[in-house]
């Protein structure tokens, strides 16, 4: 059965996160029977202090802050609250003071297209163009959101030179095609460490450390196969050395976004601190891992990567080194991942652009 796409109906206010996001579906596996708080989203007049907590509004006078307070809203959103529905007109920009928002395409892929954390905003693209929103914007935890109408923002740029300068940087992000923009904020003391790497949109090291062991235990419990395809970019170190660290990050970003579009919605993707990508394949054996690794290996050379470096005026291409394995009986969680990563290093040491499954 296909999972429902992000909501597009006007009447929907809250969705079940496990239905639209694989990250939360995994968490729900381990929370069956747990008490769920009965909460509702509250909307009230914006607070001057939460406006001042965002760097984008620094330097505004008391009078300008007061006008912004009077024309803006503070939304205390519950997890699952829908701020923007795809296909509907949006005139608001949403600034995250606390919590997290995610953007979802209107399809059955249960992975977000963007993460909007504390100090970021979203909604500018659809508000500026006055076109229907492309993505659903949904709170994925209890969040404090500042909602500002685009007309209020445009009026503020005419009144405040300081804000006009800040707004120009937001417009630069908009021109680049970004879906969310950093506006600066003081993170709350109790901020939760997320499971998503913002650069690649894959699960991060924190997810590998905390959620993966539980996921593996779950597969052992139900006695279902789980295979793993691990890979890393060949020559990433020399690229970063010649063109700078930002160029290396662009390679990782391009690979992360690319692999999201070349795997199944049920595949679970993560990246560790060292830049090694892991694709966990539920209900799949080693042969399925071979097939995916071979397909990715053949496809990656056609992916252009723009380094935005003076030394690289044209996009480059990269190759990948792979290691594949499957979860064996008695294998420890760390051994499962470590074996795949060791195989990746073996592929690199043999020249790269190859697949290994035997240590």
Strand residues in the chain grouped as ranges (E): 42-45, 72-77, 82-84, 92-98, 101-104, 114-116, 120-122, 136-139, 143-149, 180-182, 226-233, 268-271, 277-282, 320-326, 355-356
What pLDDT shows up at residue 109? 67
Q: If you classify domain 17-182 with CATH, what class do you get?
A: mainly beta
Q: According to CATH, where is 3.30.70.270 located in the chain?
A: 205-356
pLDDT tens column, 63-83: 999 999 999 999 999 888 999
CA 19/CA 106 separation, integer angstroms: 13
CA 141/CA 53 separation, integer angstroms: 20
pLDDT tens column, 263-284: 987 888 999 999 999 999 988 9
Neighbours of 111 (CB within 10 A): 22
**Least confident range of 6-10, 120-124, 168-172, 309-313:** 6-10
Inform me whether the pLDDT recorded for 262 exceeds 90: yes
**Averaged pLDDT, 297-306:** 95
Highest mean pLDDT: which of 4-13, 25-34, 144-153, 345-354? 345-354
CA 113/CA 265 separation, integer angstroms: 13
Burial class of residue 62, CB neighbours in 10 A (0-12, 13-18, 19+): exposed
Q: According to CATH, where is 2.60.120.10 located in the chain?
A: 17-182
> 205-356 adopts what CATH topology?
Alpha-Beta Plaits (3.30.70)
Quote the percentage of the chain above a pLDDT of 90: 38
CA 268/CA 271 separation, integer angstroms: 11
- Which strand ranges, in their side-by-side order, compose the sheet holding 355-356? 268-271, 277-282, 226-233, 320-326, 355-356
């Amino acid at each position: 059965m296909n999972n429902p796409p992000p909501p597009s109906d006007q009447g929907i206010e809250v969705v079940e996160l496990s239905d639209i996001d694989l990250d939360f579906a995994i968490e729900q596996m381990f929370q069956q029977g747990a008490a769920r708080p009965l909460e509702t989203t509250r909307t009230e007049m914006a607070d001057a202090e939460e406006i001042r907590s965002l760097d984008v509004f620094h330097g505004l006078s008391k009078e300008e802050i007061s006008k912004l307070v009077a024309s803006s809203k503070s939304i205390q959103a519950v997890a699952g609250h829908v701020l923007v529905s795809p296909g509907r007109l949006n005139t608001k920009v949403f600034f995250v003071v606390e919590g997290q928002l995610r953007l979802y395409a209107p399809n059955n892929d249960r992975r977000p297209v963007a993460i909007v954390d504390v100090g970021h905003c979203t909604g500018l693209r659809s508000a500026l163009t006055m076109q229907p929103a492309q993505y659903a914007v949904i709170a994925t935890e209890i969040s404090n959101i500042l909602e500002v109408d685009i007309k209020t923002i445009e009026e503020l740029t005419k009144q405040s030179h300081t804000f006009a300068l800040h707004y120009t940087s937001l417009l630069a992000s908009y021109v680049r095609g970004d879906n969310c923009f950093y506006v600066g904020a003081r993170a709350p003391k109790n901020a939760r460490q997320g499971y998503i790497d913002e650069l690649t949109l894959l699960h991060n090291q924190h997810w590998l450390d905390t959620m993966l062991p539980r996921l593996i235990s779950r597969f052992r419990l139900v006695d279902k196969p789980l295979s793993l395809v691990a890979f890393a970019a060949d020559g990433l170190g020399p690229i970063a050395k010649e063109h700078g660290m930002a160029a290396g990050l662009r390679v990782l970003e391009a690979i992360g976004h690319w692999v999201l579009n070349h795997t199944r919605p049920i595949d679970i993707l993560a990246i560790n601190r060292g830049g090694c990508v892991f694709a966990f394949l539920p209900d799949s054996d080693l042969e399925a891992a071979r097939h995916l690794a071979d397909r990715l290996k053949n496809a990656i050379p056609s992916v252009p990567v723009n380094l935005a470096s003076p030394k690289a005026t044209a996009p480059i291409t990269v190759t990948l080194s792979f290691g594949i394995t499957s979860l064996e009986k008695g294998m420890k969680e760390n051994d499962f991942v470590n074996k795949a990563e060791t195989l990746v290093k073996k592929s690199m040491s043999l020249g790269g652009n190859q697949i290994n499954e035997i240590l």
